[in-house]
Amino acid sequence: MTDSRPDLVIYGSPVSPFLRKIEGVCIAKGVAYEVEAVNVFAPPQWFRDISPMKRIPVLRDRSVAEEGIAGTLPDSSAICAFIEKKHPAPALYPDSPMALGEALFIEEYADTALAIAGGMGIFRPIFFAISKGQEPDLDKARDAWANQLPPVFDVLEARLAGRQYFAGDALSIADITVATVLMQVALVAETPLDRWPALEAHFTAMQALPLIAEPYKAAETIIRKALPTRFDLT
């Protein structure tokens, strides 16, 4: 009997923007994958063993090993770069040295500055509170929207400089990461971006792509059970 399971298993939850970033890369490349649910706040020992920072997502390539540390990679950036090497087409990392550097910087900036302002500042104070049956901390979320996110959006707007994509005049890991992380805010709140027209156009275009929309839909289904509508933070 042949094994019909895909080589790639992503451990985590579609509610993680970092997991959806990996899904976006797999969908763009037509690479089969599975998501196996892991609750990162109470993970089993086998998951702790493969996630040194106790974070999701972690990837396993079953063609390398079915258990243990071998064949596993923690951290979405390492995982996406691995998938690019294993499945080079279509390329999601620019060829030209400067464009590659720019794409990697934007990926890192979205994974850190944007994720901290949007995830810690808005998603968690709203959704984590609601999940625990508490009132959402809308003051904290409003402060993040008014004060923490605008300087990050300013940087993204300047880097886009009116272009369609962040680097190399083509879809890259930079575009996928910005969109998936920004959609973490969209899961719980409206995201009016009219002060940042290039970013707004980029976000609208990215949301229409199946590689962004499909993983988001899975996350939204989970979120909407507890939070039927988004908050207006303006």
Ligand X SMILES: N[C@@H](CCC(=O)N[C@@H](CS)C(=O)NCC(=O)O)C(=O)O
What residue ranges bind ligand X (CB under 6 A)?
Answer: 16, 18, 40, 54-57, 75-77, 111
The tokens describing 31, both together, are: 């690479």
Q: What is the DSSP letter of 135?
A: P
The tokens describing 19, both together, are: 């997991």
Q: In angstroms, what is the minimal distance from the CB of 75 to ligand X?
A: 4
| Residue number with CB closer to ligand X (40 or 205) | 40
Q: Are 20 and 43 in contact (CB under 8 A)?
A: no
Q: In angstroms, what is the minimal distance from the CB of 169 to ligand X?
A: 25
Q: How far apart are the C-alpha atoms of 50 and 171, rounded to whole Å?
A: 31
| Residue number with CB closer to ligand X (102 or 107) | 107
Strands (E), the chain: 8-12, 33-37, 58-61, 72-74
* Single-letter amino acid, residue 231: F
| Residue number with CB closer to ligand X (31 or 205) | 31
| Residue number with CB closer to ligand X (76 or 148) | 76
The tokens describing 233, both together, are: 């933070």
| Residue number with CB closer to ligand X (77 or 207) | 77
In 3-state terms, what secondary structure has residue 231? strand
Q: In angstroms, what is the minimal distance from the CB of 79 to ligand X?
A: 7
Q: In angstroms, what is the minimal distance from the CB of 13 to ligand X?
A: 8
What angle is formed at CA 77 by the lines to CA 151 and CA 30, rounded to 5 degrees? 115
Report how far apart, in Å, the C-alpha atoms of 149 and of each of 115, 156, 194, 197 are: 10, 11, 14, 15
| Residue number with CB closer to ligand X (76 or 172) | 76
Q: In angstroms, what is the minimal distance from the CB of 163 to ligand X?
A: 25
Q: How far apart are the C-alpha atoms of 124 and 142, rounded to whole Å?
A: 13
Tokens 């625990």, residue? 132
Q: In angstroms, what is the minimal distance from the CB of 111 to ligand X?
A: 5
Q: Are 176 and 209 in contact (CB under 8 A)?
A: no
Q: In angstroms, what is the minimal distance from the CB of 112 to ligand X?
A: 8
| Residue number with CB closer to ligand X (122 or 196) | 122
